[in-house]
Structure 1
Amino acid sequence: MSKRSEPKPWWVYRGSRQQHDDIATRLPPAPPWRKSRGPALVRPLTLDNGPSPNFEASDEVIELVNTALYLRRPLLVTGKPGSGKSSLAEAVAWELKLGRPLRWPINTRSTLQEGLYRYDAIGRLQEASLQEKRKQADGSVAADPDIRQFLQLGPLGTALAPSKYPRVLLIDEIDKSDIDLPNDLLNVFEEGEFEIPELSRLFRTGTDDELQVRTIDGELAPTDKGWVRCHAFPLVIMTSNGEREFPPAFLRRCLQLELKDPGPEQLQEIIRLHLGDEAVARSGPYIDTFLARRGKDTLATDQLLNAIYLVSRVPGAQHDMESLLNVIFKSLGSLGTP
């Protein structure tokens, strides 16, 4: 992580840990090849009164985030565990007042369908059965349950819901996915839209109702004849621990950022952000030990934070730090090995 300079004129995201409305006034229209077809639903930018996320962004990080915003491209962020990959999404969403970032944690069973939307077919059948029983009991007319009650957009689907301003979506640890998921994402990333067949069939029956679907955060999003079409492409931040390679077609549609291990000055700033100036004053020997061990083993920055917390906040812990460091600074590469 390199040292940061003064903000550049073209930066919308500045990494300043100060909220502002620049995305509403300075972000130009999408490039012609990234035009979307969804309506520009106006939702106000969201002021988050909570503290700024503790993420120290370098010039390289800031420039890649801004490039992704301007080009409407996903950002693939690689780095060692604990390097701040997930915190980046929180920091961007907070500064640009884009609401809380949507999260999609990935595992080997994750599918594109799960990210886009969920249809509770069993719940709908159960509701239809209950209505039929009521009809038999009291002679009332049983209507088919409204399918929209049993549909909900997932994190990716919610990020693509129509809005004037982009949502921030964190797809966490995509390298843990099934081998097909990155390729499955290609068309959605390229087009910014997807079909919900259950709603498309409903539209084709001639219904005149406005077809809306619930988002993962409880709002209602309009659809276009059963299609969800974004207006502002979301800022998609995908994290990877570098445990696998991705197909060239997938990489071509992404911007790639590697978060480097922070050096001594950056570690001091991270400690200051989390634990304050007093902790920084006591951190020197532990930073030196951490850097020496990180040169040989795989260590994460939060392991250093754990050590500094103990020595600065827990009375008496500093007397046992030699033995505690052997526990706290255990190599992540050796975990689980005999």
Structure 2
Amino acid sequence: MTSYLSPPTAADIDAAAERLRGTAVRTPLLTSPVLDAVTGARVFLKPETLQRTGSFKFRGAYNRLVQIPQELRAAGVVACSSGNHAQGVAAAAKLLGMPAVIVMPTDAPAMKRQRTLDLGAEVVEYDRAKDDRDAIASRIAAERGAIFVPPYDDPHIIAGQGTVGLEIAEDLAALGLLPDVVSANVSGGGLLSGIALAVKARAPHARIVAAEPAGFDDHARSFRSGTRERNDLVVGSFCDALLAPTPGLITFEVTRRLAGEGVVATDDEVAKAVGFAFRELKLVVEPGGAVALAALLNGRLDAEGKVVAIVLSGGNVDPATFEACLSA
């Protein structure tokens, strides 16, 4: 569904920040003496759990939808998502008075599905292991004359997500600091590529690190091989937000140049990180939002003595899953 488009620039991210001003939440940078002591680093957390709809995805969705010409809005938009992009698109569409259809896997967390419906979107379900979600979305878009809104492989989406990195760089600069390491959870790469563009424009020395669930490390393998690798499975981790099969075309063009390294965490490590965030940081983080934190806590990031920014990318977790994480 993605025809090739050029990646955005740091200037595009600045423009996205202006569009989002007053609509998206400018989430704070948080610190924790406990986390600093455990890691030996100066750690700053970017809690996109506090963002509108509970994840960073609102940023890219709104930046894309607000640029749709008024005369095309009545036909609405179509998106594919297991939940966070779904809610971001649904919320942006509601704000802009547009109908939205979301193609969502049947195994998506119930809370994410319900909140997408509550935001006024129509949900069309598919089997993640058997069906082609892009084909379903393409058919719906053609039938309705709607605009397809990709979850990550779109320059406007990337630019919107890149405002996360812009805010990290600006807020650290206000403290007289530059980041040494910035790590974000990655699925298709929209967040990581946007962060890389924004941070590298202000801190060229910073390392941008992809964090992925073990067994779904397509970015790390792609960085090593120099070409886009695919995961063998599309199910098998409870980090449901991070199960894209391969890096995006546009996103990988950016991340292979500006990131180029990845770390992984197992589901058990992620569950413990979710528990750590709740007990020590007083934050509710979903599994897919806690992989970078898990990698940090398990020594996978070269963090000691460094200024490290960790993105907690989402907090939309079902109560049963959250309870299981707290018991890990």
Per the normalisation by structure 1, the TM-score is: 0.31
> If each structure's helix is expressed as a fraction of its own residues, which one has the higher value?
2
Per the normalisation by structure 2, the TM-score is: 0.32
